[in-house]
Structure 1
Amino acid sequence: MDPAERAREIALRLLDHSPRSAAQLHEGLMKREVDAETADLIVERYIEVGLLDDAALAAAITRTRHRERGLSRRAVAEELRRKGIGAEDAEAALAQISSDDERVAARELAEQRWQRLASHDARTRARRVASMLARKGYSPSLAFEVVRELERADNGGESV
């Protein structure tokens, strides 16, 4: 089989498995011992014909990670970087998430976790909720602000 044809088949199999960035496809081809020049040509051609679109991929990842998993902009930005999405495409995608969106998502996640931890003391609940928000990429200041709001709500509006 022609090496270029073999490389195209590998590329199509990789893309059939899951959407990939141009960098991920290039890396996948290189791992499968496709020479760099052929990998470059395939990636360029697939971008040209629309099989690879880093901007669209970044936008989709941003939407799903934020809305479905509750990840912060910072956590989504890190995932986009790991996937080889360029800074310009990542910034455009991350612009979908406003500070208000991020705060609402943090609050919703925190409320759900807070309710599941109802059998624990306030200190344990606060620590676990703040830790969960940190793992999702939220800043410590936002995490503790949301926790204080939940504590106040539990105490009938009184400050803790």
Structure 2
Amino acid sequence: MINIIGTFNCKADAKGRVTIPSSLMSQLSPLLNDGFVIKHGRFSRCLELYPKAEYNRMMMQLKEKDQFDPDNVRTLRKFVEGAQLVNIDDSNRLLIPKALAEHALIKKEVVITATIDIIEIWDKESYEKANDIDRDEFSVMLKTAFGKNDKPVSQSGTAQ
């Protein structure tokens, strides 16, 4: 698993190409040969860019589920919605397919943000609205994510 870091303000050209900033490209360079999968965001009106290996890992997890359970099939169908293979060209540009750009309301101003091993691609205005969280709400979110739990933790770092 790769840990991608950073949030970047970019621009989409008239053809839907976004130039990937050099500091992000240096993190992605080991993944360029395998390519990427771009798809609808899971929870937001953005796009998600997966390194192909990470996307394949997630597909294997979904494949393990009972394929005769209608809920599992619906989950799979929704997860892969809009999925397309893409590459970053020699000029460090990512071409966002038109239907996906329309889905994410991407016009010209774009925010690219890393969320551990996935990259989210947002229309700037949508990104700002989605992240308009006050300090109190963020404090609760941080406590939920990083606060102590009631279970003892083993030396390996896992809850017992």
TM-score relative to the length of structure 2? 0.24
Structure possessing the higher relative contact order (Cα contacts under 8 Å, 6 or more residues apart): 2
Q: Which is richer in helix?
A: 1
TM-score relative to the length of structure 1? 0.24
Q: Which is richer in strand?
A: 2
Greater Cα radius of gyration, structure 1 or 2:
1
